[in-house]
Amino acid sequence: MKILLVDDSRTIRNIQKNILAKLGHTEIDEAPDGVEGVAKVREFSPDLILLDWNMPNMDGLTFLKTIRADGVTTPVIMCTTEAEKSRVITAIQAGANNYVVKPFSTETMADKIEQTMRKLTAPAP
């Protein structure tokens, strides 16, 4: 599964890569802001996107609205901080599939990915 990390913090991206590697995910690409993220969505065609909110040039919410307006249906997990929990509804309305609060453990990330991908493949009720 190809996973795109969009986060302005190299440290966070490295932590995410380590967590994902432990979960067996090695097809990873990354972008430091929404502008490069949009380009990477086109080049890399990810199966899943882990998205930061606060970034320079283009923030996560704008990135999300941009790719959804382009018709991109790739699942997106928003990675927020505790203080941003109230913004989760905004993110979901903009097309986020799930969210995870930073800092997250390997177990939490595994659960969120499993939950997100399961929802996608669940048959319609």
Token pair, residue 78, equals: 């928003």
Closest CB 27 distance from Mg ion, rounded Å: 23
Q: Between residues 81 and 93, which has the closer beta carbon with respect to Mg ion?
A: 81
Return the range that interacts with Mg ion (CB under 5 A); candidates 3-11, 30-38, 42-50, 112-120. Answer: 3-11
Closest CB 119 distance from Mg ion, rounded Å: 26
CB atoms near residue 7 (< 10 Å): 25
Angle, alpha carbons 9-15-21 (nearest 5°): 135
Q: Containing H/E element for 83?
A: none
Bin 28: left if φ > 0, else alpha if -120 < ψ < 50, else beta: beta
Token pair, residue 63, equals: 């990135």
Contact mark string toward Mg ion, 12..51, x via CB under 5 A? ----------------------------------------
Contact with Mg ion (CB under 5 A): which of 45, 54, 93, 108?
Answer: 54
Q: How many residues in total does the chain contain?
A: 125
Per CB under 5 A, 84 contacts Mg ion: no
Secondary structure (H, E, C), 112-125: HHHHHHHHHHCCCC
Contact with Mg ion (CB under 5 A): which of 52, 76, 91, 112?
Answer: 52
Q: Between residues 82 and 124, which has the closer beta carbon with respect to Mg ion?
A: 82
Binding site for Mg ion (CB under 5 A): 8, 52, 54
